[in-house]
Amino acid sequence: MATPRAEMPSLECRRVLICRPEPEASRLATLFSASGADVRVMPLIDRQPLPETPERRTLILDLDQFSHIIAVSPYAARLLLDELDTWWPQVPSGIRWYAVGAGTARVFSEYGISTRKPARGWTSEALLALPSLTAMNGERVLLARGEDGRELIRQTLESRGARVTVLPLYRRLFPDYTAHQVNEILGKFAPEAIVTLSGETLQNLIALCAKSGHNLYDRLLIVPADRVAEQARSAGFRHICIPDSLADKDIMASVAAHLGAGDGGAGQAK
């Protein structure tokens, strides 16, 4: 349900750029628009499901051989559940399912799978602090993720004695925008706040700014975690905010709290 406009008066006519992948970008944009914001969507990551391979099919058919299954994102969870629908008449028992954040856990829960997630936070580091992942003793772990990604979960669990198998389900691509499109959004639209919810999204934004000559380093930047905030500071961004969670309402509340203060983007990192 969209937040009533009266609850977010400070976003009236404020300019917000959302750089999340689709469909999350348009969903978040709808919420911002309902609050009165002027919103543009410019995904800086495209996701493309990988074609099925005999190796992947074998992994899915052997799903009941794993003690732990981890999905790193809602998109990875949805693709994994699609595979489950194809090859398993019901969810195999005896598996502990994990989600890096609440959004991923929600995907599993809607499918009827009880999921473990960090009590606080939504990062790989927070997931790895769960007690059931601290001593693995040769247990098998399936890690559902993109073709490339951070190796922290795999490396850490292997160092704890786990036998980790990576299940790549999709690849991430840098969308191809024309110079006109970039100028219209980064230049003429001139966003006051930019939502970049991954380190890769941030790096793609930095590359796009460098290539196009647009300077957005004085704008409010919404990032998901301290690690990405440090990357942003190193790149030269000065006004960085980490929301209370990655739920759409909390992302919007963070933008409203900073832009509503009349600071023109001069928010402070948490």
Question: In the prediction, which pLDDT does 6 show?
Answer: 43
Domain 5-45+175-259: which CATH number of 3.40.50.10090, 3.40.50.300, 1.10.287.3510, 3.40.50.970? 3.40.50.10090
List all residues 6 or more positions away from 131 whose beta carbon is below 8 Å from its beta carbon.
Answer: none
Which tokens belong to 206? 């930095």
pTM summary value: 0.83
Residue spans in the chain of domains classed CATH 3.40.50.10090: 5-45+175-259, 49-172
Question: In the prediction, which pLDDT does 121 show?
Answer: 75
Lay out the sheet containing 140-146: strands in order across: 46-49, 163-173, 140-146, 68-71, 96-99, 115-116
Mean pLDDT by 10 residues, the chain (270 residues): 46 93 93 93 95 93 95 94 92 93 91 90 89 92 90 94 95 92 92 94 92 90 93 94 90 89 43
| 238 neighbors 166 (Cβ within 8 angstroms) | no
Write the Ramachandran bin of 188: left for phi over 0, alpha for psi from -120 to 50, otherwise beta.
alpha
Question: In the prediction, which pLDDT does 270 show?
Answer: 44
Q: Where do we find the tokens 């493309």?
A: 48
Q: Which of 121, 159, 137, 148 is CA-nearest to residue 68?
A: 137
Q: Which of 50, 269, 226 is CA-nearest to residue 122?
A: 226
Question: In the prediction, which pLDDT does 8 show?
Answer: 47
Distances from the Cα of 26 to the Cαs of 2, 21, 22, 30, 188, in angstroms?
A: 13, 9, 6, 6, 21
CATH dotted code for 49-172: 3.40.50.10090
| 241 neighbors 222 (Cβ within 8 angstroms) | yes
Question: In the prediction, which pLDDT does 59 show?
Answer: 93
